[in-house]
Amino acid sequence: MADTKYIFVTGGVTSSLGKGIIAASLAKLLQARGYKTTIQKLDPYINVDPGTLNPYEHGECFVTDDGAETDLDLGHYERFLNVNTSQANNVTTGRIYQSVIEKERRGEFLGKTVQVVPHITNEIKERIQILGKSGEYDIVITEIGGTVGDIESLPYIEAVRQLVWELGENNGIVIHLTLVPFLSAAGELKTKPTQHSVKTLMESGIKADILVCRTEHELSEDLRDKLALFCNVKREAVIQSIDASTIYDVPNMMYDEGLDTVTLKKLALPDDTQPDLTQWNAFLSRHKNPKNEVRIGLVGKYVELQDSYKSILESFIHAGAENEVKVHVEFIHSEHIDEKTVTENIAGLDGILVAPGFGERGVEGKIKAIQYVREHNIPFLGICLGMQMAVIEFARNVLGLEHANSTEMNSQTPHPVIDLMEEQKNITHMGGTMRLGAWKCNLKEDSQVRKVYDSEQISERHRHRYEFNNQYKTQVEEAGMICTGLNPDTGLVEIVEIPEHPWFVGVQYHPEYKSTVASPHPLFVAFVKASLQYKTNKTNATLA
Ligand code: GLN
């Protein structure tokens, strides 16, 4: 195909309508028809990336192979498409301005007044087209964060207006996602907010080609006619997006509504193929028809906002389907666990995952939970901070190093079993300076992880500043916690296991960033399997 086609997804009426899921679902359908498709998110905030945001503010920070700290929507894109994203797939206002200001300082605009239009909008247009110009994709979907009419979205909307015009007919189209609210007092769905938001878009010179309407109730034929008439779109381009019980249903729902067909028509692309969703639907069927269930505790300190652990929760869905098991994730606030409450919090569960995190709050609860699962043979998966806490727990309670700690929590600890990485010691800037992205790891023969991955070497994604202190390696290993995964170049400990325990694995990296529908992460699959085994053994013991 000659040139890349562009689809812009804007949002109206309110935020949180699920633009990311709609974009990912459309991308899935186009990919399933054989079109090479990628998705990009433009975020209108001034942080250069979301790495410096508290998870309570913005949910999880998703990390790509190339070490970009990005919006959690990129996680959805990867999980739906099974294709890696990169730094180019997430652009923020902060990054746009940073780049324009650096150019200004270098003298690239010498003699000119640097302005939002054209300099900022040109930079946005350039960023949008980077993926298209790579030659790797037939179609690039660009999701514009925020809602039309927001002050901070204006430069993006203007850039989209210019691009649609420059690209010419059938090469760049706009999908507008809106809400059609149901007023229970009137017993009616209302189109007015959608009409207004389409109007706002038009005031900025953009005509929506397709309307995707989020709704709690079916849109009647009359209502669809009305939306088409008042919003200036073809009748077939009014797409209903009704609430779904799982996000993984949305591609099929969009197919039933003809979103892919109308998109291809608008882009003047052939639609003589049918999307091949065989693998996707096989996953859905396993997901919806579990033969068993397990209850896994997620111990963390951001549990009030589930988006903080988005990729972990989705990984459990993939791994559950793979095992034909429904995974009930029980959120346990690490600050609520102490000597007295640990049993009531943990005892009945079939597995425990201790989550990633930063800072001191809640870590003692995590350590208590780990001691309990270690001593009671409950399957355990520790991720990043969770792995570090497993090492601390082992040092304190097995090696007898009473005040063992991470220097992140106590810089004066007599036993810094987790310590700041050497290369981190002179770092003063907080943004984008952690050990990030994909690093290799060699797996020890005869280990749990070697079996799980069925490979000698793996590559996983990272986001941390602290590491296992290798001065304690011999001591820790002699007492029964084995370092079964090491970075081949630096010897940095990536994985610890306790072979005496049925399933106890701590990983310095984030397996959750690499689990997809097509390729559930082996570590999550094995952890869910071990939890099911634990549950079965427990039931059998009770019956005996
Ligand atoms: N705070 C720890 C570190 O920086 C763990 C980070 C994490 O869990 N992502 O090493």
Q: Which atom of ligand 1 is nearest to the CA of 463?
A: 9
Q: Is 497 helix (H, G, I), strand (E, B) or coil?
A: strand
Render pLDDT for 161-212 as a digit per residue (tens, 0 to 9): 999 999 999 999 999 999 999 999 999 999 999 999 999 999 999 999 999 9
**How many whole angstroms separate alpha carbon 497 and alpha carbon 504?**
6
Residue 259 has pLDDT above 70, yes or no: yes
Dump pLDDT digits (tens) for 131-164: 999 999 999 999 999 999 999 999 999 999 999 9
Model pLDDT, residue 335: 94
Per-residue pLDDT, 543: 82
Distance between CA atoms of residues 444 and 256, nearest Å: 48
pLDDT of 2 > 80? The answer is: no
Per-residue pLDDT for 102 more than 50?
yes
The bridge status of strand 457-464 relative to strand 435-443 is antiparallel
How far is 55 from 454, CA to CA, in rounded Å? Answer: 34
Which residue matches tokens 């797996």? 443
pLDDT at 544 over 70: yes
Please give the single-letter amino acid code of residue 316. F
- pLDDT tens, 460-500? 999 999 999 999 999 999 999 999 999 999 999 999 999 99
pLDDT at 339 over 70: yes
Single-letter amino acid code for the residue at 240: Q
Residues lining ligand 1, CB < 6 A? 356-358, 384-385, 408, 463-466
pLDDT confidence bin for 440, thresholds 50/70/90: very high
Query: How large is the average pLDDT for residues 111-117?
Result: 95
pLDDT of residue 1: 42
**C-alpha span between 201 and 176 (Å, rounded):** 9
Backbone conformation region of residue 447, classed left if phi is above 0, alpha if psi is from -120 to 50, else beta: beta
Nearest protein Cα to ligand 1, atom 5: 385
Report how far ligand 1's centroid is from the alpha carbon of 523 (Å): 19
Q: Got the DSSP string for 369-391?
A: HHHHHHHTT--EEEETHHHHHHH
C-beta separation of 45 from 152 below 8 A: yes
List the catalytic residues: 384, 510, 512
314 C-alpha to ligand 1 centroid (Å):
21
Q: Which atom of ligand 1 is nearest to the CA of 359?
A: 1
What is the position in ligand 1's atom list of the atom closest to the CA of 356?
8
Pocket test for ligand 1, best of 63, 385, 389 (most atoms within 8 A of CB): 385
